[in-house]
Amino acid sequence: MIGRLREAARLFRRTEDGSATIELLFWFPFFMWVTYSGVDLGMMSFHHANLERALDTTIREVRLNNLPPGKTEWTHDLLKDMICDQARFIPDCSSNLALEMKSVDPFASFAAENLNATPFCTDTPATIRKPEEKVFVPGASNELMIIRACVEVAPNWVASIIGQGVSQNPNGQYELHATTVFVHEPS
């Protein structure tokens, strides 16, 4: 009996027939992880391009002073609604989008230095912020303005490369930023 088991073990060691099941078991999780990470990265790029386009389209209307019917002035909520209408594919845009807009002196310094280095990516109420931290100033005619939109989006798969990177954030979402500079046309 032991001789037959030894002979079977010797034949099993020498044989080169078989399948790649073991190799598949080792490599399949890696290939799936890379695939899901690629899909997540593609979705992140899609959301960022969507945000950029929505901001540009909305700011074009602001620049030309094309107020929607029934509105008398540009407000934070109006711009936010217009951007979210344009960015249809960003999930839960109205609650995850924050806007910063300030006037820029074109002769003083570079425009981006006028915004805080760490953007407000959540709409925190004015009562929580310091009084000097006004993040939305609508501006006037012929005034150079800089606007930054920030949206938080959750990754599709938490186990992907992006998902693991944002798992360190308290809310588990990554931030997408879009910035543009424009001048209000004279009325």
Average pLDDT, the chain: 79
38-74: pLDDT as tens digits: 888 899 899 999 999 999 999 998 888 888 888 888 8
pLDDT tens profile 117-134: 666 676 555 544 454 556
Confidence band of 105 (pLDDT split at 50, 70, 90): confident
User: What pLDDT does residue 96 have?
Assistant: 85
37 has pLDDT over 80? yes
Tell me what the mean pLDDT of segment 145-169 comes to.
77
Amino acid at 152: E
Q: Write down the pTM of the prediction.
A: 0.76
Residue 111 contacts residue 144 (beta carbons within 8 Å): yes
Per-residue pLDDT at 4 = 85
Provide the pLDDT for residue 175.
83
Comparing 132 with 151, which gets the higher pLDDT? 151
What's the pLDDT score for residue 102? 82
Q: Between these two residues, 158 and 176, which has the higher pLDDT value?
A: 176
What pLDDT, on a 0 to 100 scale, did the predictor assign at position 10? Answer: 79
